[in-house]
Structure 1
Amino acid sequence: MRLAPGEQRSLFFRAQSSGTLTLDAQIWESAAFARHSRLTLMLQSGYIAMLAALCSYNLLLFFALRERNFLLYVLFAASLGGGMLAQSGLGAQYLWSDGSELDNRALPFFLGLALALGTLFTREFLDTRHALPRWHKLLGQACAVYFGMTLGSLLLPVDRALQTLSVISIVGILLLLACGLAGLLRRSPGARIFVLAELALMAGVVLMSLRNFTLLPSNLVTANSVQFGSALEMLLLSFGLAARLGSSSASSWRPARPSCAASRKPSGPCRNRSVCSNSEWPSAPPPSPRPTRASAPSPCRTRSPAWPTASA
């Protein structure tokens, strides 16, 4: 479409989709639209590449350490990445067919699964079973609801599933944030990093909501605010896992004290006071009696009946 300088036209658009659809009421020049498209694709590709790198790194840590935290982190990040692929359209462009039933239901399914796995990860990360038992039970009930919503996204109408998921997602993020604050008050390991991560995700969701309600202008930041917030969240949670691993290793490591038997020589008792207790340390031998000088016997000077008397 070509417009002459100062020319005004009224344009009408009709868009229909059984899945998610975002339209910006903005007219671009050809060169500007090409630059914007390249920049958006670069950001989306960088986001997916970062998630793939974090998943690979933490998956290797899981295979090496067998810690369930790392496996839940990988599943959480992978499901979140699937939701972002469905939202940005890259999944329909490269992984599945555009406009198919899978394309329409991919976003509510992956985001519901991410919310459920994120709740499971929170329970393990904050160790709510021991540190916050009440929150542990509450998060377990919420997780059951999220898994039910994930299965329901495959059966319910797509628009109803998306509306329900939008409300549940905000409630779920607030619930996780409140659990992190409770862990912070209890001084749980990693609670501070967890709260910062949830705040980053919440900020991205709030910016996206304000942009959807036209309270904020649509630009590169607001249109991709969820990606920015979730990327920062994933980075902080990965650092939190590393910090928890370091603190647990430092608390469980103790320098091995050499045994007393190992430092004792076969020829005598242990002479290493640094490894022997007071009871094992050989006491000093008793002092030997000093030798006395033998003297010649002297005649008895005690008068006895047999003592000779002097003669008159």
Structure 2
Amino acid sequence: MNVHNSGLWILRLLLLICSNLPSQLGAIELRLADQTTLQQSLALTPYFEVFEDASATLNLEQVLSPAIASRFISSSSSAEALSFGYTRSAFWLRLQLRNDSAHTIQRILELSEPGLTKVEFHQIATDTDSATPTQNYSIRTGRETDFSARPYPNRFFVFPLSLAPNSVQSFYLRVQSLGPVSIPVKLWQPAAFHAHERSDYANQAWYFGGATAMALFNLLLFLALRDVMYLLYVNFVSCMALTMAIQNGLDKEYFWQAAPLWSNIATNVGYSLTLACLLIFMRRMLSTAAIVPGLDRLLQALLVIFFLTPIAFVISLQSVIKPAALLYGFTAVLILVTSLVCALKRQRSAYFFLSAFSVLCFAAITTVLRALGLVSTNQLTTNILQLGSIFEMLVLAFALADRFNAIRRAHELAQNLALDAQRQLVETLTSSERILEERVIQRTLELDKKNEKLARAMRSLEDVERIARHDLKTPLASIIAAPKVLRAGRILEDQEEKVLNMIEHAARRALSMVNLSLDLFQPAPCQRKFKCPGSRRGARPVGARAVKIGQYPYFRASLADLGRG
């Protein structure tokens, strides 16, 4: 206990010495009474004194020693934030606040960079005339620390301050990060900060609400149209929104409050997956494999790299984070170049894609430059990526709507072409059927005439046959009947009877020969039809008649000639 008290007294003595040597330490005091009623918030960058701990091993007691305290230098910056880029150093910031009033002043100190890995806040009373001096206290927080360790629940690092009347207090901030080191610090009046906080969370709600609505809408379009383009866009929007939530510190507040390793690599993993989803979406939307095959091969290589970078982040984040940032910037430029080339080749989707992602890629490049310390940190550069993504979502909504309309127009055009083709086919078939029907009717009339001629010929043939039978058989029948007449009423002599028998027998034989000859030259009758060659099987020609003819040898040639005619 005595050792602890003696150490505390020594520390207080050192602080008293430092406070009495402003010319040596370059201390800058901020008098709150001078600006209490004038400003609701104040950027503290010009009032900070900065010390870079290259070894990142010094603690508060060592920093308060005269050897280190004299090495603090004024930031001499009018920007809203101190930017140091990617570095392994730890940075100590010293701020002195003076309360000359007779009452306690409440303030809120806001460090609005949620990606800082380690943040330490120390408040030390260096001089006080108050009866109740301010107690010294320290807070250790940061992205890799549990969210419950924060003194105020907010996506940023927020520290409530209480300054005793007539006192001077020193505040120390120690900042260290695996990513880019940017330190935007403001001092707020409590009421103004709470109003700002509500507005900030409302803006975040608008952004993520819009992103969610866009993702759900395109998911429904995918389920309705079965077009994988909409699903790829949903993947990109989801990854982009999650990455923005990680970058803005909302993931630490709402999702994983105690996950040190994941908290450190989450932002870079989110960027890698977002760019991978973006490249997949772009390759399909712009058909880069067909339009720009050379650039498409480079895009495929980047896809493989982005899917492997999360493993590298787990192994050694600090070694690969700066090359990864450069890779992100290169990818953004490549996206712009690819979109521009496709647009110059009159790829319709490229116009929308170039418009949508030019702003987003510019925002991404600005973010990378800010991370490298090449661009100053301010309200615009801090939120430019989120603003660019909002613009991208709106423009791509029009792009996908145009794609839907293009698909619908193509479908309608295909339907119209199909209907036209069907109409032309029906007209052709109708015309062919009409021509065929006319030909059938014409051929049928010709066949009717031929069949009529054939019928007349057959009737003539039948008449000839009938006459032939009559002229041949009637005399023979008379000869056969003559002996009977001669015998009637008479008694004939043997010689007469013999002659009559011979006459009768000869007549009968002649009649038999005639009958045999007529039957021999009268084959079985058959049917013969003249049909239209183009008519269908089994169809009966209109007006056609079947005619029975006897195929007599001496009529065959004439009938064949008639059929050919």
Instruction: Report the TM-score range of the alignment, normalised by the length of the smaller protein.
Output: 0.7 to 0.9
Select which of 355, 359, 379 maps to 1:200: 359
* Kept after mapping to 2: 8 A contact 1:83/1:110: yes
Q: How far does the alpha carbon of each residue in 1:204-255 deviate from its partner, in whole angstroms, 9 at most, with x for none? A: 2345456664855622x33211101012112222321221232133124322
CA 1:238/1:6 → structure 2, altered by over 3 Å: closer, same or farther?
A: closer
Select which of 281, 301, 308 maps to 1:141: 301
Select which of 276, 280, 286 maps to 2:432: 280
Select which of 325, 346, 350 maps to 1:187: 346
Partner Cα distance (2:425, 2:327) in 1: 61
What residue number does 1:301 align with? none
Select which of 187, 194, 212 maps to 1:27: 187
- Give 3-state SS (helix, strand or coil) of 1:27's partner: strand
What residue number does 2:407 align with? 248
Partner Cα distance (2:404, 2:330) in 1: 30
Q: How far does the alpha carbon of each residue in 1:7-34 deviate from its partner, in whole angstroms, 9 at most, with x for none? A: 9863542123456765313322222222
CA 1:43/1:210 → structure 2, altered by over 3 Å: closer, same or farther?
A: farther
Provide structure 1 residue ranges, at least 5 long, that are not aligned to the other structure. 261-271, 289-312
Deviation at 1:130, TM superposition (A): 2.4
Partner Cα distance (1:29, 1:229) in 2: 31
Letter of the aligned partner of 1:280 in structure 2?
S
Matched, 1:114 2:266: no
Letter of the aligned partner of 1:30 in structure 2?
P
Partner Cα distance (1:190, 1:27) in 2: 47
Q: Which has the larger radius of gyration?
A: 2
Matches for 1:119-134 after TM superposition, within 5 Å: 119-134=279-294
Letter of the aligned partner of 2:419 in structure 1?
R
Q: Which of 1 and 2 has higher RCO (CA within 8 Å, sep 6+)?
A: 1
Partner Cα distance (1:259, 1:209) in 2: 57
Deviation at 1:3, TM superposition (A): 2.3
What residue number does 1:77 align with? 237
Aligned residues: 276
- Give 3-state SS (helix, strand or coil) of 1:15's partner: strand
* Kept after mapping to 1: 8 A contact 2:325/2:368: no
What residue number does 2:541 align with? none
Partner Cα distance (1:12, 1:214) in 2: 26
What residue number does 2:502 align with? none
Partner Cα distance (1:215, 1:173) in 2: 17
Higher strand residue share: 2
CA 1:6/1:78 → structure 2, altered by over 3 Å: closer, same or farther?
A: closer
Select which of 305, 309, 334 maps to 1:175: 334
What residue number does 2:382 align with? 223
Q: How far does the alpha carbon of each residue in 1:89-127 deviate from its partner, in whole angstroms, 9 at most, with x for none? A: 111101111562222211111111111111111100101
* Kept after mapping to 1: 8 A contact 2:363/2:388: yes
Partner Cα distance (1:242, 1:13) in 2: 50
- Give 3-state SS (helix, strand or coil) of 1:25's partner: strand
The sequence identity of aligned pairs, in percent, is: 27
What residue number does 1:67 align with? 227
Partner Cα distance (1:65, 1:180) in 2: 26
Provide structure 2 residue ranges, at least 5 long, that are not aligned to the other structure. 1-29, 37-46, 48-94, 97-170, 443-565
The alignment's C-alpha RMSD in Å is 3.2
Structure 2-normalised TM-score? Answer: 0.44
Q: Which moved more, 1:232-241 or 1:51-60?
A: 232-241
- Give 3-state SS (helix, strand or coil) of 1:97's partner: coil
* Kept after mapping to 1: 8 A contact 2:366/2:375: no
Q: How far does the alpha carbon of each residue in 1:117-149 deviate from its partner, in whole angstroms, 9 at most, with x for none? A: 111111001012223322322211121122122
Partner Cα distance (1:114, 1:215) in 2: 23
Deviation at 1:185, TM superposition (A): 1.0
Q: How far does the alpha carbon of each residue in 1:167-200 deviate from its partner, in whole angstroms, 9 at most, with x for none? A: 1111111111111111101111210110011111
Q: How far does the alpha carbon of each residue in 1:28-86 deviate from its partner, in whole angstroms, 9 at most, with x for none? A: 22222222222221122211111111111111222222222111111111111111111
CA 1:259/1:112 → structure 2, altered by over 3 Å: closer, same or farther?
A: closer
